[in-house]
């Protein structure tokens, strides 16, 4: 193959003006040399909705940050894909100092081995609503995975870390996501450990106890000491239940921020570096449900769906109660409680709405009302 670097002026040595520029070009070469070898010729970098010429990408944030992730618009792809022209790809690198909880090697395994199996086993009516990015290639250095190249799915991200875009989601989408979570949890963790022995395990009892201390303040101030006592009782119930559960593969990240509503109506699911082993199968549902506070009616539907598809587990309802109060929901309640006196009026109004939703949710859970009745 001809030397493509000679054709790209911003990589040429004579263009180097100072030490900082030299370091920048070396970082560029470190990333793009791997791509050139795969006949991927990047033309532009996409950061958010902005398209940036490589020559103007002074910060190189996507490829040099602690979390290397950049979308590339490519000129052409050699023989990688004969049947479908790919316009954009994702370069996703190893997160620095992340450890086994956020491993690019683990994500490679999930994309290569786990997601195709899940897709095959999904009910047909759910399968036609789901999409996963294709793993195009894996970049290795000294036998270790350095980065993965993924197909970029087009569409709209369904929310952020703390909220969902209520205009995007509907009841059928919630059913699709809950079914995907259920199918993911059927994967035997031992299959992952064959290629990734360091697959981490989370001690939920320890996490519950640690989180209880953080979650008590907003409950005590907004709901009263009676509900603080009920939170502690819920922790005791959880201690009895968790030990009876089998170890399960949990995704950690199937929620709005990692879900794309595609133009064809499918939901695309991205970001798979965080799976781990745990005994609380409700945790994945709790993360999804807690972010649906922007649409309380849809949040109710998500709770109903999660309870329905897990009804064979007599302990699931109590685990979901604990997950929403002590873990994800508790995190959200505390997050917005701290914003109630924010100087920014918009943030304050958002916090007031969120706190109102979580106050009602927590009261219903802790009082065993509505859908939570025994």
pLDDT tens-digit map of 115-137: 999 999 999 999 999 999 999 99
* Average pLDDT of the chain, as a whole number: 85
Q: Which residues of the chain are in CATH 3.90.1200.10 domains?
A: 156-372
Long-range contacts of 129-132 (CB under 8 A, 24+ apart): 129/172, 129/173, 129/176, 129/265, 129/266, 129/267, 130/176, 130/180, 130/266, 130/267, 130/268, 130/269, 131/262, 131/266, 131/267, 131/268, 131/269, 132/268, 132/269
Angle, alpha carbons 366-230-289 (nearest 5°): 40
Under the banding of pLDDT at 50, 70 and 90, the label for residue 106 is: very high
Which tokens in the block code for residue 119?
A: 């897709």
**CATH placement of domain 156-372:** 3.90.1200.10
Q: Confirm if 293 and 311 have CB atoms less than 8 A apart.
A: no
Q: Write down the pLDDT at residue 4.
A: 43
Q: pLDDT digit string (tens) for 219-247?
A: 999 999 999 999 999 999 999 999 899 99
Q: Confirm if 207 and 238 have CB atoms less than 8 A apart.
A: no
Task: Choose the most confident range, by mean pLDDT, from 54-58, 148-152, 364-368.
Answer: 364-368
Mean pLDDT of 289-296: 95
CB contact set of 300 (below 8 Å; sequence gap of 6+): 371
Q: Write down the pLDDT at residue 12.
A: 46
pTM of the model as a whole: 0.87
């Amino acid at each position: 193959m001809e030397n493509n670097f000679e054709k790209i002026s911003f990589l040429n040595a004579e263009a180097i003006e100072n030490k900082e520029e030299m370091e920048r070009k070396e970082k560029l070469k470190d990333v793009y040399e791997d791509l050139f070898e795969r006949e991927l010729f990047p033309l532009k970098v996409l950061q958010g909705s902005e398209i940036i010429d490589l020559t103007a990408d002074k910060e190189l944030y996507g490829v040099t940050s602690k979390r290397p992730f950049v979308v590339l618009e490519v000129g052409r792809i050699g023989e990688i894909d004969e049947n479908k022209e790919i316009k954009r790809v994702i370069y996703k690198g190893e997160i620095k100092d992340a450890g086994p909880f956020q491993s690019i090697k683990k994500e490679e395994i999930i994309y290569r081995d786990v997601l195709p199996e899940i897709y095959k086993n999904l009910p047909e009516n759910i399968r036609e609503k789901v999409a996963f990015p294709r793993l195009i290639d894996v970049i290795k250095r000294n036998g270790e995975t350095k980065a993965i190249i993924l197909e970029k799915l087009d569409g709209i991200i369904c929310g952020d870390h703390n909220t969902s875009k209520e205009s995007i989601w509907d009841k059928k989408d919630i059913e699709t996501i809950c079914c995907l979570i259920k199918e993911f949890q059927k994967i035997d963790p031992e299959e992952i450990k064959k290629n990734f022995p360091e697959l981490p395990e989370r001690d939920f009892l320890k996490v519950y106890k640690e989180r209880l201390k953080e979650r008590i303040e907003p409950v005590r101030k907004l709901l009263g000491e009676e509900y603080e006592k009920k939170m502690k009782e819920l922790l005791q119930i959880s201690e009895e239940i968790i030990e009876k559960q089998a170890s399960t593969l949990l995704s950690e990240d199937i929620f709005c921020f990692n879900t794309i509503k595609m133009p064809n109506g499918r939901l695309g699911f991205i970001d798979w570096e965080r799976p781990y082993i745990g005994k609380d199968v409700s945790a994945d549902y709790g993360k999804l449900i807690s972010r649906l506070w922007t649409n309380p009616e849809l949040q109710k539907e998500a709770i109903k769906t999660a309870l329905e598809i897990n009804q064979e587990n007599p302990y699931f309802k109590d685990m979901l109660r604990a997950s929403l109060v002590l873990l994800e929901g508790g995190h959200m309640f505390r997050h917005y409680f701290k914003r109630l006196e924010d100087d920014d009026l918009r943030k304050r109004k958002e916090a007031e709405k969120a706190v109102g939703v979580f106050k009602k949710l927590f009261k219903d859970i802790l009082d065993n009302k509505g859908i939570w009745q025994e």
